[in-house]
Amino acid sequence: MRENHFIWFITSSVLGILFIIWASIAPSFTLIPGDIWMIIPGIILVVIGLLGIFDSIVSDRVLLKYISTMENERISLTKLSIDLNIEISDLRELILTLRGQGKLKVFFDEETGEVASSTLYQGMTCSLCGQPLSAEQFCIICGTEKLIE
């Protein structure tokens, strides 16, 4: 879902730039319909696109910084949602996305549903997503092959 938002913001910015270009060349050519006033929607689309991309990058970094500075190694999704002012469904999606990219080393505790740091787990964890590994050869979350020590 996050990728769709990101693609929408990029598309919005590109369309805004095209509107600006169209509005700037349209008055000089009689075959191209348009007016100089088309610059205004173009600027609005570019600003919306850039703000959306910026917001996505900032929310990623805020979560990464918050998790890296957690005092205790566990935190509930509700508390994390309140602290970061992000809805729980969006927060869960953000955590899974960052885990999939290998930027965040946390896992969801099976019993409590809390977000727990991979350093808290005493056994082996996946080198990519931080999920605790059992006897399987591959990680059940991301499919990474277990490293043999």
pLDDT tens profile 111-148? 777 887 766 555 666 666 666 666 656 666 666 666 54
**3-class SS at 90?**
helix
Nearest CA among 128, 137, 81, 89 for reference residue 107: 128
73-118 pLDDT, tens digit each:
788 888 888 988 888 888 888 888 887 777 887 877 777 778 877 6
Length of the chain: 149
Residue 66 has pLDDT above 90, yes or no: no
Dist CA 57 CA 64 (whole Å): 11
Total Cβ atoms within 10 A of residue 73? 14
Mind giving me the DSSP string for 51-86?
A: HHHHHHHHHHHHHHHHHHT-SSSEE-HHHHHHHHT-
29 three-state secondary structure: coil
What CA–CA distance (Å, rounded) separates 65 from 76?
Answer: 17
Q: Does the domain at residues 72-149 carry the CATH identifier 1.10.260? A: no
Whether 103 contacts 128, CB under 8 Å: no
| pLDDT for res 149 | 45
Q: What is the pLDDT of residue 45?
A: 92
Question: What pLDDT, in 10s, does the model give residues 5-26?
Answer: 778 888 999 999 998 998 888 8
pTM above 0.85, yes or no: no
